């Protein structure tokens, strides 16, 4: 059943990405930079004194955010990545989370900060948090650049959130639509023009 659902989502995704659209700015690069600075102050006071912090980025959407975060953090950090997938190339979550690429290193006894781009239905972050918790980290915290609370289907909340946004499909600052627009320096919303 999920197989069929995923095939349908994939076809839907392929068709959708053919539609013409424009991107309207929602959060400027400047506003993001200011927020990253604030968030890092909070993260620093949580992890003050740590010498065992691993910042775990969820690929691929968090790669720009994590790059800005770790350069702003005045703490010794290691960086690792995990790839989980709940989206095809379309605009709808498949609700079935698969780990496509696991961490390279062990996290037992370590301080861990999970970095996510957007919390939408909540399936991805809640799955990743329970997976990482089962590995016995000393401390596990999470941060999401964006949160769409109105879309939540599973209860989960990142410890820190950059911006709460309405139910719009967004791109930029690492976040894609059908793999495009990750290189925008701001967050914009997709508006179809047909």
- Distance (Å, whole) CA 10 – CA 193: 22
Is 61 among the residues that bind Mg ion (CB under 5 A)?
yes
Q: Find the shortest distance in angstroms from Cβ 159 to ligand IMP.
A: 16
How buried is 146 (Cβ within 10 angstroms: 0-12 exposed, 13-18 middle, 19+ buried)? buried
Among all residues, whose Cβ is closest to Mg ion? 61
Candidate list 68, 111, 117, 120, residue with the active-site label: 120
Tell me the sheet residues that pair with 29. none
- Distance (Å, whole) CA 92 – CA 1: 17
Half-sphere exposure of 68 (CA within 13 A, CB side): 21
Binding-residue pattern over the window 103 to 122 for ligand IMP, x denoting contact by CB under 6 A: -------------xxxxxxx
Q: Which partner in Mg ion, ligand IMP, none is near 161 (CB below 5 to 8 A by kind)? A: none
Q: 120 catalytic, yes or no?
A: yes
Binding-residue pattern over the window 70 to 99 for ligand IMP, x denoting contact by CB under 6 A: ----------------xx-----x------
Q: Which of 33, 26, 35 is nearest to 171 (CA)?
A: 26
Q: Which are the contacts of 51, defined by CB distance < 8 A and separation ≥ 6?
A: 76
3-state SS assignment for residue 108:
coil
E-strand ranges in 66-154 read: 77-87, 93-101, 111-119, 139-147
For residues 74-93, which are near Mg ion according to CB under 5 A? Answer: none
Q: Which partner in ligand IMP, Mg ion, none is near 113 (CB below 5 to 8 A by kind)? A: none
Is 61 among the residues that bind ligand IMP (CB under 6 A)?
yes
Cis, bond preceding 60 (omega within 30 deg of 0):
yes
For residues 169-188, which are near ligand IMP according to CB under 6 A? Answer: 169-170, 175
Q: Find the shortest distance in angstroms from Cβ 137 to ligand IMP.
A: 21
Q: Which is nearer to Mg ion, 100 or 106 (CB)?
A: 100
Give the interface with Mg ion as residue ranges (CB under 5 A).
61
Binding site for ligand IMP (CB under 6 A): 61, 86-87, 93, 116-125, 169-170, 175
Just list the catalytic residues: 120
């Amino acid at each position: 059943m999920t197989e069929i659902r995923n095939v349908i989502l994939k076809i839907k995704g392929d068709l959708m990405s053919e539609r013409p659209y424009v991107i309207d700015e929602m959060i400027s690069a400047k506003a993001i930079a200011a927020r990253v600075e604030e968030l890092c102050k909070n993260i620093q006071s949580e992890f003050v004194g740590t010498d065992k912090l691993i910042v775990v980025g969820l690929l691929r959407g968090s790669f720009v955010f994590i790059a800005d975060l770790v350069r702003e953090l005045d703490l010794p950090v290691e960086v690792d990545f995990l790839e989980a997938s709940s989206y095809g190339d379309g605009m709808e979550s498949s609700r079935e989370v698969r780990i496509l690429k696991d961490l390279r290193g062990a996290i037992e006894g370590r301080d861990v900060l999970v970095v996510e781009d957007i919390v939408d239905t909540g399936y991805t972050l809640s799955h990743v948090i329970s997976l990482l918790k089962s590995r016995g980290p000393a401390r596990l915290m999470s941060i999401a650049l964006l949160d769409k609370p109105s879309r939540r289907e599973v209860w989960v909340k990142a410890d820190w959130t950059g911006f709460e946004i309405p139910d719009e499909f967004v791109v930029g600052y690492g976040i894609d639509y059908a793999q495009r627009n990750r290189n925008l320096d701001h967050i914009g919303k997709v508006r179809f023009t047909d």
